[in-house]
């Protein structure tokens, strides 16, 4: 099978293990492309892609734009802060106006969970979810899985700990779905106030002690505290959070094995991860950034072959 089972990438929950493995295999081909002296291929020539971002983004937006340009697509960038959304225009009207200009694919980030699903029922273009509120961030989970696979090989039976603000993280949910479909064991770790009530129903282990989580895992995927999404205080202070849940080089050295450190970015250095840990030989954080471009090239390339 060389085609995805869906014409949108709305979330990891909505795609199959076969889809995930096809994307990861295609990523390997595109990683070779982006490391050539000439980093461009004509795969999406004559395809127009609109990047529609209703929330701030640096890595994801740049990564998608670079992926699109590496594939020779025509790119349109939209920012809600300078658009008619400020004048009261609805999401569907905004996107339909963009599609009237003959856009083939939409990459969208939105603050409301389910926004990309809603849009997929109302427009004909292929949609890639670049993050919808606290719901899902599928391409981040795919690039995380690819980075782990690159480092550890097949993920079947591997132990992955997701540590930090699980409650407000779209990365955590997508990673859980993706890793479980690839056969990995998943543990979540953080203060009990930052763990969703339903979390154990997802089939993951739950740990409140970060040292025990590090001793258990092969990979620690560390998440930042998402203060911008928190309406109330979930812990006394960042200093206290860092004291109990911050990971540093000394902690990593004290383990009786080597583990891999990951982070989806942006890193709050000195809070969830110290600089000496983030920049250590354990870290593959910059590999994640590089792999993000190749994964997004693979997703766009595969979706472009599926029309309504």
Annotated binding site: 59-60, 87, 109, 137, 140, 170, 224, 265-266
Asked whether the beta carbons of 191 and 209 are under 8 A apart, the reply is no
Please spell the DSSP secondary structure of 197-224, one letter per residue. TTGGGGT-EEES-HHHHHHH-SEEEE--
Q: Is the dihedral of CA 273, 274, 275, 281 positive or negative?
A: negative
CA-CA distances (angstroms) from residue 4 to 60, 90, 211, 215, 260? 22, 30, 40, 37, 30
Q: Which residues are annotated as a binding site for carbamoyl phosphate?
A: 59-60, 109, 137, 140, 265-266
Q: Rounded to an integer, what is the distance from CA 178 to the centroid of its chain?
A: 11
Residue 4 to residue 20: CA distance in whole angstroms: 9
Long-range contacts of 180-183 (CB under 8 A, 24+ apart): 181/12, 181/16, 181/17, 181/20, 182/17, 182/20, 182/21, 182/145, 182/155, 182/156, 183/154, 183/155, 183/156, 183/157
Rounded CA gap, 163 and 172, in Å? 9
Return the half-sphere exposure (C-beta side, CA atoms, 13 A cut-off) of residue 149. Answer: 23
Q: Could you tell me how many helices (H) and strands (E) the chain has, helices first? A: 11, 9
Residues annotated in a binding site for L-aspartate: 87, 170, 224
């Amino acid at each position: 099978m060389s085609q995805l089972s869906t014409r949108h990438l709305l979330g990891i929950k909505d795609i199959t293990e076969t889809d995930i493995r096809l994307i990861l295999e295609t990523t390997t081909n595109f990683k070779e492309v982006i490391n050539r002296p000439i980093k461009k291929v004509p795969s999406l020539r004559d395809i127009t892609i609109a990047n529609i971002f209703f929330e701030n983004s640096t890595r994801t937006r740049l990564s998608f734009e670079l992926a699109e340009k590496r594939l020779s697509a025509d790119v349109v960038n939209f920012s809600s802060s300078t658009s008619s959304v400020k004048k009261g225009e609805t999401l569907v009207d905004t996107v339909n106006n963009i599609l009237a200009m003959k856009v083939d694919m939409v990459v969208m980030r939105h603050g409301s969970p389910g926004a990309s699903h809603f849009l997929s029922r109302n427009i004909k273009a292929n949609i890639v979810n670049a993050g919808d509120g606290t719901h899902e961030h599928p391409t981040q989970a795919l690039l995380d899985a690819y980075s782990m696979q690159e480092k550890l090989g097949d993920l079947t039976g591997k132990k992955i700990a997701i540590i930090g603000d699980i409650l407000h993280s779209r990365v955590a949910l997508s990673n859980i779905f993706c890793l479980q479909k690839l056969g990995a064991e998943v543990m979540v770790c953080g203060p009990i106030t930052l763990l969703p009530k339903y979390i154990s129903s997802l089939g993951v282990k739950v740990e409140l002690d970060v040292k025990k989580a590090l001793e258990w895992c092969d990979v620690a995927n560390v998440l930042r505290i998402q203060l911008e999404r928190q309406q109330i205080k979930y812990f006394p202070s960042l200093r206290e959070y860092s004291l109990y849940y911050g990971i540093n080089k000394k902690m990593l050295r004290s383990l009786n094995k080597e583990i891999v450190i990951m982070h989806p970015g942006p890193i709050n250095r000195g809070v969830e991860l110290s600089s000496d840990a983030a920049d250590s030989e354990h870290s593959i954080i910059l590999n994640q950034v590089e792999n993000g471009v190749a994964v997004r090239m693979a997703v766009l390339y595969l979706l472009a072959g599926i029309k309504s």
